[in-house]
Amino acid sequence: MLELRSLDAGYGSFQALFGINLEVRAGEAVGVIGPNGAGKTTLMRVISGLIRPTEGSITMEGRDVVATPAHRIVDLGIAHVPENRRLFPRLTVDDNLKMGAYMPGARAKYAERLEFVFDLFPRMKERRSQMAGTMSGGEQQMCAIGRALMSDPKLLLLDEPSAGLAPVVVQQVFELVKRIRSGGLTVLIVEQNVQQVLKVVDRAYLLEAGTIRASGTSEEMMKTDTIKQAYLGV
Amino acid sequence: MQAFLDTFDIYLLEAVVNGILLGGVLALLALGLNLIFGVIDVTWICYAELVMIGMYGMYYMVQVFGLPYWVAAPIAILLVAALGAALHYIVIAPLLTAPPINQLLATGGVLFILQSFATVAFGIDFRNLGIRLPVLAIGDMHFSYSRLLAFVAALLGMLAIYFFMKRTFTGTAIRAVAQDRQIMSLMGVDTKRIYLITSALGGALAGLAACLLVLQYDVHPFVGLSFGPITFLICVLGGLGNFVGGFIAAFVFAQIISLGGLYSDLEWGYVLAFAFFIVMMFIRPAGLLARRS
């Protein structure tokens, strides 16, 4: 479904990603793990068009993502839940969800998508007229995921969904990822919480200093010595 | 009614009502400027000059080409909306990432260009529509229909903007851009297009103000100076970019001008308003409704 070939990207003269090759197949959940500053967020941003690669290619179902204007990438079926959620704090939950359905294709299905999101997050229906910035971290994460789901995507990009949340809420977020997956959605998830993320994904890539150091199924990754020592603490 | 009026100082009451009527138009001007500042983060120093061009548009359509007022008004609104969009496209868009001072200087330059253009193209004569609306007399109080019309139309214009911003996808996107412009592309929003629409809306509000003000004031190339500065003070007092703050501040200023004019000359009303502004800047430097961050 999504394919990255020898991708370089960075900010100005600073290069953050070096020759990334990565693939996500339809129906899969794939994790990208690695330390702070490894380039995980950059990887997500380059897929959704927030920054543009300097070299290499990205294709989504055979279509060239790099040649697509940033605001049309949602139309290819890619929805990005950015780092720190980035809700519109002084818009209501309803308005935040509305923004997720901005594209003409999504607007036509607006009522149907809204029902889907409210089914998934009944809490959001209770809070629909509340300002998004006044909700708890966990609720904001639900709202951010809901907003991304409003566009009826094929591929969901999740950037550190557990960051800054209480341990109990982190559990809920990963449960949620499982539920979203079971609906048939393809997921690419970036996480520092390696132990948790390896439980919900099929495969994972280890990203360190802008390059992919290892990849494999979750079981293989859990058995890899470097990952055990550096990330799982066993 | 008469008994009620007798118990009040009718001149005071008349001044208060006139202040409210003036506040409506000032609030309309402030909304246009706030919209541009809040969403695009740019100050159109030349905002009142767009109004001036709109007033000339009305003058030429009504007086020279003989169009009825009701036909000319929508054309003038569209004309100034197009001018607003053009201003964004030609002047602002290339400077979006420039330091704010450069943006200020550029729109300040447009102010002088528009004033000079008007001087050369239209001359410095004072012109008016030649329409005299009747005066409404309630007891001994007198209110001109042109002011009443301006107040009602300004409120309707602001109401239209309110519903557009609340109900439509585009309006919601305009409010969202003001809060986080970087991630708009993730929503599928083309920020450039939103900026252009917002500029056209800001222009349309200036156009509506022009249609209303041209009924009360003569138009000349420097007429923008009569309400440009006060519009800026209102926006700053209300908190730049804060729509509700601007609305309240417009009525506060209008009341000061109107009551100041009652107890002394109209000019003193303006002096009082500006003095009040300076004092308020010491008390609430970020505006009446400043957000605490």
Per-residue model confidence as pLDDT tens digits over B49-71: 999 999 999 999 999 999 999 99
User: pLDDT digits over B169-212, tens only?
Assistant: 999 999 999 999 899 999 999 999 999 999 999 999 999 999 99
Residue among A69, A91, A151 whose CB faces B176 most closely: A91
pLDDT over 90 percentage in chain A: 68
Under DSSP, is residue A129 helix (H, G, I), strand (E, B) or coil?
coil
Query: Which pLDDT score is estimated for B4?
Result: 58
Find chain B residues with C-beta within 8 A of A151's C-beta. 188
Closest Cα of chain A to B156: distance in Å?
Answer: 24
- Chain A residue whose CA is closest to B174: A99
DSSP bridge pairs for A158: A81, A189
Kindly identify which residue of chain B lies nearest to residue A70, measuring between CA atoms.
B185
A181 neighbors A154 (Cβ within 8 angstroms)? no
| Residue B293 clears pLDDT 60, i.e. is over it | no
Cα A234 to its chain centre, rounded Å, is: 27
Tokens found for residue B45: 């120093």
Enumerate the residues of chain A whose CB falls inside 8 A of the CB of residue B165. none
> Residue B6: what pLDDT?
59
Q: Which of B39, B186, B191, B291 to mutate to test the interface with A (most CBs of A within 10 A)?
A: B186
CB–CB contact B187 A100 (8 Å): yes
Q: Residue A88 is nearest to which of B179, B185, B191, comparing CB atoms?
A: B179
CB pairs under 8 A between A and B: 60
Q: What is the Cα gyration radius of chain A?
A: 17
pLDDT digits (tens, 9 = 90+) for A35-83: 888 899 999 999 999 999 999 999 999 999 999 999 999 999 999 999 9
Residue A128, min C-alpha distance to chain B (Å): 14
Give the bridge partners for B214, in sequence order.
Answer: none
Choose the closest CB to B188 out of A50, A75, A91. A75
**Would the pLDDT of B7 be above 60?**
no
Please give, rounded to a whole number of angstroms, the shortest distance from the CA of A72 to a CA of chain B. Answer: 6
Pick the closest to residue A58 from A2, A121, A123, A139 (CA basis): A2
What pLDDT, on a 0 to 100 scale, did the predictor assign at position A165? 87
CB contact under 8 A, A99 and B190: no
Count the helix, strand and coil residues of chain A and give each as a percent rounded to the nearest 5.
Answer: 40, 25, 30
> Does any CB of chain B come closer than 8 Å to the CB of residue A78?
no
Strand ranges of the sheet holding A55-60, from the earlier edge strand across to the other edge = A14-24, A2-11, A55-60, A63-64
pLDDT per position as a tens digit, A162-186: 888 888 888 888 888 888 888 889 9
φ, ψ at B259 (rounded to 5°): -70, -40
Contact A78, A60 (CB under 8 A): yes
Q: Kindly list the distances between the CA atom of residue B179 and the CA atoms of A138, B161, B192, B280, in Å, as whole numbers in the listed order.
A: 21, 18, 15, 27
> ipTM score of the complex?
0.90
Q: Which residue of A has its CA nearest to B172?
A: A95
Model pLDDT for residues A115-154, shown as the tens digit of each residue = 999 999 999 999 999 999 999 988 999 999 999 999 999 9
Nearest to B188 among A82, A88, A103 (CB): A103
Given this model, what pLDDT does residue B167 score?
93
- B139 sits in the region (left: phi over 0; alpha: psi -120 to 50; else beta) called left
User: Would you say A173 and A162 are in contact if contact means Cβ atoms under 8 Å apart?
Assistant: yes
Question: Taking 70 as the threshold, does the pLDDT of residue A94 lie above it?
Answer: yes
